[in-house]
Amino acid sequence: MNEHGQSAGAHLAAQGMRSTVVGIGVNLVLALIKGTAGVLGNSYALIADAVESTLDVVSSIIVWMGLRISVRPPDANHPYGHGKAEPLAAVAVAVALFAAAVGIAIQSVREIRTPHHAPAPFTLVVLVLVILTKETLFRYVFRVGDATSSTAVKSDAWHHRSDAITSVAAFIGISIALMGGPGYESADDWAALFASWIIGFNAYNLLRPALAELTDAAPDPKLEKEVRAIAKGIDGVLGTHKCHVRKMGFDYYVDLDVIVAGSMTVSAAHAVAHQVQDAIRRANPLFTKVLIHIEPPDLSRPLPS
């Protein structure tokens, strides 16, 4: 618990929710600016960029909801808590990115095949401001996601980075269209098509860790080593066998086999198990659920390290 009475997971979730609220506000403003500039400046790449910012707003709302649900305490229907809501939000963001990539690609091809005027020069100024803003937002949100080990917040950050990438592509495309003159008007649309590929690639990279967490893939091996080292530091523990760690939202669940002397009484072994549980939780407050299974030594083989 921190000074406000929050659990470690709830405190991390609160940090993540604050970053998403900032992102929502910034993206609302950018979507309006880019959409207006794209229509007035005859730039489909900029309009596509505005669509991306609008999706950023939707994805940030999804992330915010996922974070809020993930820290709800266990109940009768969810005895292990609601932590899976956090990676589920990350999956939803990745799917939204895929949808944006496909939609932008389809419309880009249509624009390439349709003759139109070159974009207005003022759209380049708008894009420079957008790129600087989105890159700053990405760095801020990603720092929060990295500090909280939140898959959803990191996915939200990369959504901001993908928006910056589409803006860079739009800047290049519009510049080529303006400098090339007649015959180069579609460079703007080719830039939007390229940006759609980048968005899809980022979506794939975001989807993988979210699905891994949903399927209880093992987290950083350092966590298992930390758990084993703590357990072996308790009096009465001869070693450890199985050790499984899985991530549940912002928390980690641990299943650990602890080896004690075969002559130890049930009461004494039970006390050792509680000492191990308490030591693991003290060392890392994010280890919220620790299940200890007591085993006697197997005399046919040496004790594991």
| pLDDT tens column, 176-194 | 878 877 777 677 778 778 8
The sign of the CA dihedral 12, 18, 21, 23 is negative
Q: Two tokens at 125? A: 């100024």
Torsions phi, psi of 14, nearest 5? Answer: -60, -40
Number of CB atoms found within 10 A of residue 266's CB: 8
Q: Around 35, how many Cα atoms within 13 Å sit in the side-chain half-sphere? A: 12
Indicate the SS3 state at residue 114: coil
Predicted local confidence at residue 2, as pLDDT: 43
Q: Which residues in the chain come in under a pLDDT of 70?
A: 1-10, 44-45, 115-118, 185, 299-305
Judged on CB neighbours under 10 Å (0-12, 13-18, 19+), 264 is middle
In whole angstroms, give the CA distance from residue 233 to residue 243.
Answer: 16
CA atoms within 13 A on the CB side of 123: 32
* pLDDT score for 305: 53
CATH fold group of domain 221-295: Alpha-Beta Plaits (3.30.70)
Q: One fold for both 8-214 and 221-295? A: no
Architecture of domain 8-214: Up-down Bundle (1.20)
Q: Which residues contact 165 (CB under 8 A, 6 or more apart)?
A: 195, 198, 199, 202
pLDDT at 255: 93
Residue 119 CA to chain centroid, in angstroms?
35
> Which two tokens mark 126?
């708008």
Q: What is the pLDDT of residue 299?
A: 58
Looking at this protein, which amino acid is placed at residue 35?
G
Q: Given this model, what pLDDT does residue 289 score? A: 85
Per DSSP, the residues of 147-191 read HHT-HHHHHHHHHHHHHHHHHHHHHHHHHHHHHH-TT-TTHHHHH
Which residues are registered as beta bridge partners of 256? 243, 292
Helix, strand, coil percent content, the chain, rounded in steps of 5: 65, 10, 25
Q: Which residues contact 257 (CB under 8 A, 6 or more apart)?
A: 240, 241, 242, 243, 293, 294, 295
Domain positions in the chain are 8-214, 221-295
pLDDT number for residue 1: 46
Amino acid of residue 224: E
Neighbour order of strands in the sheet with 287-295: 239-248, 251-259, 287-295
Cα separation, 42 vs 47, in Å, equals: 9
pTM of the model: 0.66
Residues with Cβ within 8 Å of residue 47, at least 6 apart in sequence: 34, 35, 38, 39
Given this model, what pLDDT does residue 155 score?
Answer: 75
